[in-house]
Structure 1
Amino acid sequence: MRSALVFLAFAAFAAAVPVPEEQAAFEYPRYIEFPDGDGVPHTVDLQEEVDHHLLEEIERNPANNLYLLFTRRNPRNSQTLVINDRNSVLNSNFNPNHPTVVIAHGWLSNQNTDLNPVIRDAYLNKGETNVIVLDWRRLALSGYVKATNGVPAVGRGLGQFLRFVHQTTGAAFNSMHLVGFSLGAHLVGNAGRELGGAVARVTGLDPAGPLWNFNKDSLGPNDAVYVEAIHTDGGYTVGGLGIGTAIANADFFPNGGISQPACLTNICNHNRAWELFAATVSHNHLIGQECSSNVQITLNNCRGQSLHMGNDNLRKWGSGKYRLDTARRYPF
């Protein structure tokens, strides 16, 4: 727990300190505290041994992923779509004429983790959408280091599944939006990469930081036509649970990207990313101002062009780093 206490003690200090542009990303200690899907912290050894047999099995079999479809015809009871099983798709409520949104959870999480129904309902309450919840618990319930090592394979499996859906139904890649939280952010990046960056959008919700700062498999700007990252628990002078540096086409840093209003813990800051995103799908009300430097982000004096954060616009485009301030409670 000592690492978690260090995070908390310095979060407010870090938010107020200007950051040199050339400063390297934070180097995490060996032991950190990282939350599960219910917000319970777990001690992680970033140098733990990896079970390569499980990783090889995950690599061989993308069917380990569970794809659960929700539409306005079945908003609460999912239909299971199975890769390479055409009937599972053709006999479902999947409509290729509607946008498709995929939601990927993070570590120690599953289909029932809070972000899935919150984001699902935001979309289905707004309009006709194929919402696919990806449950990758087969790997996500293993150790953090093991899960990190397996994320690229799970992402490639998701990409292969979406190619199968495209070939089966004709659903266009430019009608697809992949949304991932924490480790799931890097997962959907790899899915987009598997499809050659053809999907309309990839959104990373506070992409996980530990073991990802210099990782070639992390979320990147070429993973979709438009890639966006929302950073809520990063940090330049102290490590957060998320990456604190720009990694996408457009990177948003709500409230500076380190600590969030009404949050006293890294876990709260981290989860705020998916809460903010869901709110923008419903209201499209949070607008960032482009920043020319990290110092501007920290000092909150960005004066560049405006860009809406999040939302469900499949034709959205933007680039650069953006700062915005939010309220303490929904819809923020």
Structure 2
Amino acid sequence: MFKSVLLFGFAFALANGDPIPTSRVLRNGEFNRYYLYNRQVSASGVQLTVTGTPSTDILPGVTTVVVIHGHGGTYQASPNPDIRRELLELEEHVNVIAVDWSIYASMSYTSADNAIMSIGEHIASLLVFQDILPGNVHIVGFNLGAHIAGVVGKSLRGIARITGLDPSTTTTPLARTDALYVEVIHTDGGSALSNGMGVKMGHADFFPNGGNWQPGCATLECNHNRAWQYFTASINDNPFLSYCCNSIWEKDVNLCTGTHLSMGNNRLSKTPCQSGIYRVNTGNSYPYL
């Protein structure tokens, strides 16, 4: 196992012009790469590290959004560039950090899941090293990235918000105690074959169209991806006003009539209803109005 990981590390380092890893055993998270974006840096971003000195390109005292891709993804693939684009278009003063954990994300699902503790702990170390205050941090994670976000929160208390985008099955699940406000968007939790877990785990859990099949989708993968697509649309184009449900049954039969709460967006805190269960019905194409 380690030999294959080390070879991946060599290849990644060569591709990025980084020093070749030494023969010591590297912890999983040490293969992470981090890229900073804001309106003051170049479009290609600035790579951040956990050594040397903190970056002067990080805007101080503003919201920092950390975006974590899922199994099989990279920082250059959806949802990372989509979310980053919308955030930078909306907000003049915001930092976006794209996490690349593709070395392990490219392995088997089991191997990727086994690595998420170290990967999340390393992200927490980066935030501390770069002097980014937890109270200014919003972590957005898709698939296994949602649970990595939870590990960051477990390691670094006081994270303002975590948004889990259709969290997938894991041995280390995201929990409402991982941040001051945890929001989860469930889009593919309807069966044993689904990609998502479909169970309540945050302060506010949103179940668009019931949380199972999504309009315009014919596959489970499409349903799964709708989570990050809805979140992306929520930043600029759709408030996704959702109704509070008194129970999962009300959510399932579309009888939710409680107070409204907007799904998604970049607000660091929200006040959900007592049940924390929400349903919103969407359209079948972007921006899903």
Partner of 2:207: 253
Structure 2 Cα separation of the partners of residues 57 and 180 of structure 1: 27
Which residue identity lines up with residue 285 of structure 2 in the other structure? R
Structure 1 Cα separation of the partners of residues 28 and 74 of structure 2: 18
Quote the RMSD (CA, aligned, Å): 1.9
- Structure 2 unaligned regions, length at least 5: 7-23
Partner of 1:116: 80
Which residue identity lines up with residue 210 of structure 2 in the other structure? G
Spell out the pairing of 1:121-132 with structure 2 (5 A cutoff). Answer: 121-127=85-91, 128-132=93-97
Instruction: Please point out which of 218, 228, 246 is paired with 2:183.
Output: 228
Aligned residues: 267
Which residue identity lines up with residue 186 of structure 2 in the other structure? H
Which residue identity lines up with residue 133 of structure 2 in the other structure? A
CA contact (8 A) 1:284 1:308 kept: no
Instruction: Please point out which of 103, 115, 124 is paired with 2:67.
Output: 103
CA contact (8 A) 1:281 1:312 kept: yes
Partner of 2:48: 81
- Structure 1 unaligned regions, length at least 5: 1-50
- 1:316 CA drift (Å): 2.3
Give the match's secondary structure for 1:191: helix
Structure 1 Cα separation of the partners of residues 73 and 232 of structure 2: 18
Give the match's secondary structure for 1:331: coil
- Bigger drift between 245-254 and 276-285 goes to 276-285
- 1:241 CA drift (Å): 0.3
Work out which structure has the larger RCO, using CA pairs closer than 8 Å and 6 or more positions apart in sequence. 1
- Bigger drift between 116-125 and 149-158 goes to 149-158
- 1:291 CA drift (Å): 1.3
Partner of 2:283: 327
CA contact (8 A) 1:174 1:199 kept: yes
Structure 1 Cα separation of the partners of residues 202 and 2 of structure 2: 30
- 1:304 CA drift (Å): 1.9
- 1:161 CA drift (Å): 1.1
Which residue identity lines up with residue 144 of structure 2 in the other structure? L
- TM-score, normalized by length of structure 1? 0.76
Runs of 4+ that moved beyond 4 A: 52-58
CA contact (8 A) 1:63 1:82 kept: no
Instruction: Please point out which of 217, 230, 250 is paired with 1:276.
Output: 230
Structure 2 Cα separation of the partners of residues 156 and 200 of structure 1: 17
CA 1:258–1:75: 2 relative to 1, 3 Å: farther
Instruction: Please point out which of 126, 139, 144 is paired with 2:104.
Output: 139
- TM-score, normalized by length of structure 2? 0.87
Is 1:187 equivalent to 2:148 in the alignment?
yes
CA contact (8 A) 1:284 1:311 kept: no
Structure 1 Cα separation of the partners of residues 270 and 25 of structure 2: 37
Identity of aligned pairs, percent?
38
Give the match's secondary structure for 1:76: coil
CA contact (8 A) 1:68 1:79 kept: yes
Which residue identity lines up with residue 287 of structure 2 in the other structure? P
Partner of 1:218: 173
